A and B are shown apart, each in its own frame.
Chain A
Amino acid sequence: MSNDPKTGPGKPRPVLTPKRREQNRREFIRTSILGVGVLGATLAGLIPLVGQANARLRPPGAIKDRLAEQEFLAACIKCGQCVQVCPVEAILLADLADGVGIGTPYIQARDQACDFSCDGLQCVLACPTGALTHDINYPAQSRMGLARLARPGSCLAVLGQGFQGVARGAEFRGKLRYDAVDRWTPIPVADHPYDLELCDLCMRQCPIEIRLAQCADGAPPSGDVNQCPPRPAIRLEAQAGGGALPVVLDGCVGCGVCEMICPVDPAAIVIDIDRVTDAAPVG
């Protein structure tokens, strides 16, 4: 290229030899092939969006409407600052398989849910682009998804059974903040055994329910009454034949703690990302 016989502006252009012209033609074709290749690879990043296959449980404040994530994917600068501030390390970054969603934050609730133990929505505060919107300030304002009792047949509460021991086994790495143990530092769930006559873990560990109870006691988190959720998220309703049925209410924000703590495998209660409270499922 450097010996291309093109001259500076205003100079007469020398006539190209046939050999030189052929070289130029080939270079043009090669460059076009490279162009098609790069653009093809670029557009391949859109394939995972087909059927919203890469829609995921996103951190609080993600600017999306259930499965419609275009705005969120566009606004996210893929830096992972939200990952760094999360006290329970709930946030993961998507890989190449997510196409244009590469590097965007998501939560694998069964492994490590968001338990709002930061109280102040640190991930939202850390986000430099507003992909996690600064319009929300409190856990109860998030709309990540909605819990659903997917397998009532295996739910210990429905079966009228209690639960003794560590909820997810000794090997489980997930953490939760237990106010009674340590107000500030989350601890491994594996270090916190339970002894329950009737299993109520989904309700007992629900961050919304915990906040409601604290507010009822006159001790809202950080002494801030704005932290008090307006509505309950989950209740256990006693059944006629014994046992109790977990009922998800409209205060549920879809944080995933119930799915994480549910001691049966697979979890009886799961988070749907195509539903949020105050809105019907998509499609």
Chain B
Amino acid sequence: MNYMIESLRQLIGLDPAKPGPDDRLPEVVTLMTEKRKEKLTKEKLHVVEAGRALASDRHKWRNRRWATLIIANLLFVASYYYDVQLLEGALTASRFVGFHMADLNSALQVMLAYKHVVLNLVIGTVTVFIMWLLLGGRTFCSWVCPYHLLAEGAEKIHLWLAKRKWARDIKFHRVGRTFFYLVFIVLTLVSGYTLFETLSPTGILSRALIYGPGLALLWVLALLAFEVFVSRRAWCRYICPIGVTYGLAGVLSPVRVQYRVQDCHHEGDCRAVCLVPHVLDVTIRGRARAVTTDIGADCTRCGLCVDICPTSSLRFKVKGLDKVL
């Protein structure tokens, strides 16, 4: 229950709760006292980080994720190109070997604007909801959304420029995204038009890949340019309602990244690579309440933190799986 509340708080843009002195479980207090005895020097940290940087599996989850993302999108392209009934349609709605699938956010918009839901859309939406409920909600963002992949590239360029002070990273308040979400819902309901779809880089890119490029790609380019020069990962962090929709689905998901405070050096490598670093605030020294903490629903389960963590303090876990096995 606490996990869900904290998850939702972070998702709507509030800062992660900080534990007071009495909030931490006794075993964590003991553990932290033990940890403090062994001083971590800069040299020691460098050795640990360098060891991780040389590890053969340092990009394990990233590579799996990129492969999944590319294959998922190419399945759409190939299904149309070769006219096979594998994955027909686009990311907004499709048929997987004949079964209806509907993107949760696109379906939500259609329901709000049209105010009438046909059975096929119900089937497609429920199927996709259950699918992402099981797989982690915002997992969609980092494992399927084509804009995410482009934005990761733009982020690399951004970081390269920012290091040389040629680009800025203007930060916005994350509550803004919740505000957009509510405004989109109200405007869609009132106007009767699927207003967000015009701006959605996910839909634009998916259709461009399958049906051919168009002018709409200029909008996607403008977004990427904004992220390169003005604000790191701005669209996914501060604006995109798709992320909120899938985040809500993910609140109940068993697939999570789990943090173990035991071996953590609190050096912040994970937060530096994270799309949504606030979800990893628990890795700041003194923030952990318990020995293990599940990362909240705003997490896209991209695995960058799992890949970079030099002490394996962040790992994927499926809640309840250990009990089943």
**Interface residue ranges, A against B (CB under 8 Å):** 1-2, 4, 6-9, 11, 27-28, 30-31, 34-35, 38-39, 41-46, 49, 70-71, 73-81, 83-84, 93, 95-97, 99-100, 102-103, 126, 128-131, 134
Q: Can you spell out 5 A-B residue pairs with CB atoms less than 8 angstroms apart?
A: A27-B171, A75-B114, A81-B93, A95-B215, A130-B118
Does B198 interact with chain A (Cβ within 8 Å)? yes
Pair A78/B106 contact, Cβ less than 8 Å: yes
**Chain B: how many interface residues by the 8 Å CB criterion?**
70
Q: Are B114 and A30 in contact (CB under 8 A)?
A: no
Asked whether, in the complex, the Cβ of A45 is within 8 Å of the Cβ of B199, the reply is yes
Residues of A within 8 A of B247 (CB): none
Of B134-142, B188-196, B309-317, the one with at least 4 CB within 8 A of chain A? B188-196
Query: How distant is the Cα of A214 from the Cα of B117 in the complex, in angstroms?
Result: 38
Choice from A6, A11, A38, A45 contacting B180 with Cβ under 8 Å? A38
Are A80 and B90 in contact, CB atoms less than 8 angstroms apart?
yes
Besides A31-B172, A129-B120, A134-B118, 12 other A-B contacts (C-beta < 8 A): A4-B15, A34-B234, A35-B179, A39-B180, A73-B193, A73-B194, A77-B106, A77-B107, A78-B93, A79-B106, A84-B80, A128-B89
Provide the bound-state CA to CA distance between A93 and B218, in Å: 17
The 8 Å CB contact of A78, one of B120, B180, B197, is B197
Whether B113 and A74, one on each chain, are in contact in the complex, defined by CB atoms closer than 8 angstroms, is yes
**Residue among A7, A102, A128 having the largest count of chain B Cβ atoms under 10 Å:** A128
Quick one: CB contact mask for B84-113 with A, threshold 8 Å, 1 for yes? 000011101111000010110011001001
Interface contact B173-A1, CB-CB below 8 Å: yes
Partner of A2, one of B19, B210, B234, B278: B278
Contact A28 B173 (CB under 8 A): yes
Query: How far does the Cβ of A24 sit from chain B's closest Cβ, in whole Å?
Result: 9
Q: Is B124 in the interface zone, CB < 8 Å from A?
A: yes
> Is B216 located at the chain interface by the 8 A CB criterion?
yes
Taking the closest CB of chain A, its distance from the CB of B183, in whole angstroms, is: 6
Contact of B191 (CB < 8 Å), options: A46, A129, A134: A46
Contacts between the two chains (Cβ within 8 Å), count: 180
Known contacts A34-B176, A42-B196, A78-B207: A96-B191 contact under CB 8 Å? no
Nearest CB of B to A104, in Å: 9
For B19, what are the chain A residues with a Cβ–Cβ distance below 8 Å? 8
Residue from the list A71, A75, A102 in contact with B204, Cβ < 8 A = A102
B6 to chain A, nearest CB (A): 10
Chain B residues with Cβ under 8 A from A74's Cβ? 110, 113-115, 192-194
Given A1-B171, A46-B193: A128 touches B176 (CB 8 Å cut-off) = no
Q: Complex Cα distance A2/B174, Å?
A: 11
Inter-chain contact B118/A103, CB cutoff 8 Å: no
- B153-189 contact mask (Cβ, 8 Å, vs A): 1 or 0: 0000000000000000011111110011001100100
Closest Cβ neighbor of B123 among chain A residues = A128
